[in-house]
């Protein structure tokens, strides 16, 4: 049975559930940039560059690791413009019998995916996204007990479940569940802020910048400067820099904005 494994733009992880038990010799990993997702609202140009560049870098990484990757760029002449039509095209072209995908973060996309098994006459397996501490099902069950949904209560529930910052009696360390009142300090006029992480755009990112500038002329925002991490290696560098140089003061000023 030949299986298609769909990776969405916010699922760029080698440990994503849809890639587990992947048969590199037969299965095909599919990724696609589609206009329907890029334009259902007017996204900031930076966001589009960030997503497309990260997707292309991840696809290249998978290819180097021996995966069979089917990648459709936004400006590919064969691009049909939506997940639905791209899946249909690839299923027919490659004689796919089964599709595996990790549940998407948007109900809009999930609803679309749930129709594919019937529409394409293939087996569709939607796997739980276990990158998070709670599943959608767990949150749904928790929410049934509340007339009003407040993040504070779910936050406490998760702290208790995972034993995070609790004392031996199960109470919050320090005696309080949160310290929001201490996170709203006003920065002084002479505060020194460490430099943020800045990546250097490679050829992949440069091509994406050009694509977005030409395709999304009416979208808001400026692309440059574009300094975001678009690979796992860059993201880890950015994380290390933040922990070493910014984390110690982050709590005090987390609600302040001094840099655009």
- Predicted confidence at residue 72, as pLDDT, reads 98
pLDDT digits (tens, 9 = 90+) for 161-219: 999 999 999 999 999 998 888 888 888 888 888 888 999 999 999 999 999 999 999 99
The CATH number for 104's domain is 3.40.50.620
Same domain, 31 and 106: yes
Q: Domain check: are 49 and 155 in the same one?
A: no
Is the pLDDT reported for residue 260 higher than 60? Answer: no
Per-residue pLDDT, 258 = 77
Predicted structure pTM score: 0.92
Residue 50 lies in a domain: yes
**90-130, pLDDT tens digit by residue?**
999 999 999 999 999 999 999 999 999 999 999 999 999 99
Please report which residue ranges of the chain form alpha helices under DSSP H. Answer: 35-39, 45-64, 83-94, 107-113, 116-120, 136-143, 151-162, 203-215, 232-245, 247-253
Is there a single domain that holds both residue 58 and residue 162?
A: no
Residues 127, 102 contacting (CB under 8 angstroms): yes
Flag whether 240 is in a domain. Answer: yes
Same domain, 36 and 99: yes
Same domain for 44 and 84: yes
My answer on whether 143 and 99 are in the same domain is: no
pLDDT band, very low/low/confident/very high, at 46 (cuts 50, 70, 90): very high
Q: Where are the beta strands (DSSP E) in 143-207?
A: none
Same domain, 124 and 160: no
Domain count, the chain: 2
SS3 83: helix
- Burial class, 102, CB count within 10 angstroms (exposed 0-12 / middle 13-18 / buried 19+): buried
Same domain flag for 127 and 239: yes
Residue 170, domain extent: 137-182
């Amino acid at each position: 049975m030949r299986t298609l494994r769909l990776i969405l733009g916010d699922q760029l992880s080698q440990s994503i559930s849809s890639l587990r038990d992947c048969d590199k010799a037969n299965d095909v990993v599919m990724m696609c940039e589609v206009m329907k997702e890029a334009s259902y609202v007017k996204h900031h140009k930076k966001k589009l560059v960030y997503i497309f560049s990260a997707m292309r870098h991840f696809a290249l990484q998978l290819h180097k690791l021996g995966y069979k990757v089917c990648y459709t760029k936004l400006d590919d002449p064969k691009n049909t413009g939506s997940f639905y039509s791209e899946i249909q095209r690839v299923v027919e072209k490659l004689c796919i019998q089964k599709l595996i995908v990790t549940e998407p973060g948007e109900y809009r996309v999930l609803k679309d995916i749930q129709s594919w098994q019937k529409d394409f006459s293939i087996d569709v397996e939607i796997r739980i996204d276990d990158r998070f501490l709670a599943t959608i099902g767990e949150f749904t069950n928790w929410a049934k007990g509340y007339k009003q949904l407040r993040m504070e209560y779910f936050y406490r529930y998760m702290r208790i479940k995972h034993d995070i910052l609790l004392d031996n009696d199960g109470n919050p360390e320090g005696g309080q569940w949160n310290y929001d009142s201490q996170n709203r300090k006003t920065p002084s006029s002479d505060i020194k802020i460490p430099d943020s992480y800045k990546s250097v755009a490679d050829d992949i990112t440069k091509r994406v910048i050009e694509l977005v500038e030409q395709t999304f002329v009416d979208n808001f925002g400026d692309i440059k400067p574009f300094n975001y991490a678009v690979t796992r290696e860059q993201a880890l560098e950015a994380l290390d820099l933040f922990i070493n140089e910014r984390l110690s003061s982050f709590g005090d000023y987390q609600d302040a904005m001094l840099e655009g």
